Amino acid sequence: MEGLAEMSNQATLGRSVHAIGIGVHSGQKVRIALRPAEENTGVVFVRVDCDAVVHARAALVSDTTLATTVADNGVKVVTIEHLMAALSGMAIDNVRVELTGEELPALDGSSAPFVELILAAGRKRQAAPRTYLKVTKSVSVEKDGARASLHPFAGFAAEYTFVADHPVYNRFPKHVALDFSEAEFARDLSFARSFGLVEELSAAQKLGRCLGSSLENAVGIDAQGILNADGLRCEDEFARHKLLDAIGDLYLLGCPLLGRFVGFKSGHALNNQLIRLLLDSNDAYELVPAPEVCAPADLAGNSGPRFQIAPGD
């Protein structure tokens, strides 16, 4: 991945790419096409089956049960987080995401297939400058012992602590911390898959969730251990996946972040509460044009133009 210095301009895809898969919750087959989009478009979902558009924005998150859903005028787009993480990690600002159904395909349950699609399409630099959202004051949300917070940081860093009271989870490292001045999304995070306890699967399926879930698109865990023949992709795959989810949810801010994310047991609901709180806190962030954030000297200083967006925009 390119460093911040090469990230001063917005980017889209070099060409259209597509994939076909099933939704992990719906079990429905869907075709996804990622297409280049104009400057300042952002990430926009297009439901070609019902001719509707839903923007990937924090204010449009309508459901966070087991996945992040955005909805506009009653039209939903479900399980967006792994694609959003890949777009964030690969620094794609503008993309048109066409879908033939309401849920994105799970593919292998990680962001790696989306990264591969983006690499196949190529990253195309655009003329418009990138805008970064710079955290200037810590914000934090908490519920039932879970916490998520954002802090000022000269760059982008993220850490997560995965705590779940199960003997199999307890065998693996619970904490992961990455500073993206050195870490690379594609190399260090994109491969981490969704996971779940088999004992909880039937309850979720009774609620119409996880209908497409299998060992092809998730790590399955029973009382004895990991059910997938090849085991985990890395020791701390669970913590890394939760961090991947958070990075996808954070990209609903609508632009890249300059700050440090800290998650403790948090999930999609808290991640969304956190970014809504940030956007509602005019004194907790600034939007900074990319050239100002790319030089390390400017990261610490207050030089350069500043402007504000309306809360909840």
Report phi then psi at 293, rounded to 5.
-95, -10
Angstrom distance (rounded) from CA 191 to CA 234: 9
Q: Please, what is the minimum distance in Å from the beta carbon of residue 230 to Zn ion? A: 19
Site string for Zn ion, 87-126 (x = CB under 5 A): ----------------------------------------
Q: Which is nearer to Zn ion, 85 or 257 (CB)?
A: 85
Q: Is the dihedral of CA 97, 100, 102, 108 positive or negative?
A: negative
The backbone region for 254, taken as left when phi is positive above 0, alpha when psi lies in -120 to 50, beta otherwise, is: left
- Part in contact with Zn ion (CB under 5 A); list of ranges 7-15, 181-189, 197-205, 237-245: 237-245
Residues 6+ apart with CB under 8 A from 234: 191, 192, 240
Angstrom distance (rounded) from CA 166 to CA 193: 18
The overall longest dimension of the chain from CA atoms, in Å, is 57
Tell me the three state secondary structure of residue 103: strand
Q: Please, what is the minimum distance in Å from the beta carbon of residue 71 to Zn ion? A: 19
Residues 6+ apart with CB under 8 A from 165: none
Number of residues engaging Zn ion in binding (CB under 5 A): 2
Q: Print burial letters for 66-85: b (CB count within 10 Å at least 16), e (below 16).
A: bbbbbbbeebbbbbbbbbbb
Angstrom distance (rounded) from CA 83 to CA 285: 25
Site string for Zn ion, 275-304 (x = CB under 5 A): ------------------------------
- Interaction between residue 272 and Zn ion (CB under 5 A): no
Q: Can 151 be counted among the known catalytic residues?
A: no
Q: Please, what is the minimum distance in Å from the beta carbon of residue 2 to Zn ion? A: 25
Angstrom distance (rounded) from CA 83 to CA 88: 9
- Interaction between residue 194 and Zn ion (CB under 5 A): yes
- Part in contact with Zn ion (CB under 5 A); list of ranges 13-21, 58-66, 191-199, 292-300: 191-199
Q: Please, what is the minimum distance in Å from the beta carbon of residue 130 to Zn ion? A: 26
Q: Which is nearer to Zn ion, 149 or 190 (CB)?
A: 190
Of these residues, 25, 82, 241, 268, which one is catalytic? 268
242-261 positions binding Zn ion, by CB under 5 A: 245
Q: Which is nearer to Zn ion, 69 or 194 (CB)?
A: 194
- Interaction between residue 217 and Zn ion (CB under 5 A): no
Closest-CB residue for Zn ion?
245
Catalytic annotation, residues? 268
Residues that bind Zn ion (CB under 5 A): 194, 245
